[in-house]
Copies of this chain bind each other. A is one copy, B any other.
């Protein structure tokens, strides 16, 4: 299991979400949850949209909690849309190329979960990646492969459709290989304009995913909280696990659901794996 967050809104310094909240992502790198004694210490990554031609990407195989460069970078940058991730390896090597986000052109991708029985299906999944995208796979994780399958199945043209076809394909290959519940995932994807997030699992238990409530509503709930005065009305945070324990601040995204955070009204739609 890993932990990730995505932010969309007025430009902020990523440190505001990575370091400052009570259960910030950096705290989550030290332990999954207050009662789960497992670290997300196998690397981290921050991908942000900003002033450059393409999104910036800063990844390292060191634990996030002790990394000085992450603290510096996240205090200096300002970005209106970023994805951050802390990794707990599930079998593949601890190395920079296995750290999230993964990037392809303007697209970035983070994942919490796993492909069950990955060793049994990995080769077939690799072969299904569009040969033109094959060279973009630099590491060895199931997550990077899921991203390249989604790209193969049209992510850039139809983001949620691409994800649904990826999920459908992974499930079909896994079940043929005798895996009961092939896929466990929350994913975050962005092109720099919208932030797409989906929660899905083949089995009955799905990793959690939350989206922050409307900042306007939150201000009404907590009129004295200075932090919320400073965020724009459109600002949204999508997280694997709440960053602070404020009632009414987080809304759980149901299993089998996707959200689209975007200028104007956000969307919430069913997420249904499809045969590609």
Contacts and interface: CB of A to CB of B under 8 A. Distances in A.
A75 interface: yes
Nearest to A123: B134
Contact of A93 (B39, B131, B138): B138
A60 interface: yes
A232 interface: no
Interface centre among A31, A73, A75, A122 (most CB of B within 10 A): A73
A25 to B, nearest CB: 16
Contact of A68 (B50, B96, B139): B96
Contacts of A77: 76
A66 B50 contact: no
Contacts of A31: 37-39
Contact of A123 (B37, B38, B57, B131): B131
The oligomer's copy count stands at: 4
Interface string A70-97: 0011011110000000000100011111
Interface residues of A, number: 51
A87 to B, nearest CB: 10
A78 B56 CA distance: 13
A111 to B, nearest CB: 19
A138 B140 contact: yes
A173 interface: no
A196 B13 CA distance: 30
Contact of A37 (B37, B41, B122, B127): B37
A35 B35 CA distance: 8
A76 B50 contact: yes
A171 interface: no
Contact of A126 (B37, B73, B76, B126): B126
A76 B63 contact: no
Interface string A1-18: 000000000000100000
A204 interface: no
A44 B268 CA distance: 46
19 contacts: A37-B37, A39-B39, A39-B41, A39-B63, A41-B63, A42-B63, A42-B66, A51-B76, A51-B78, A52-B75, A52-B76, A56-B76, A58-B73, A63-B63, A66-B94, A93-B97, A93-B138, A122-B135, A123-B134
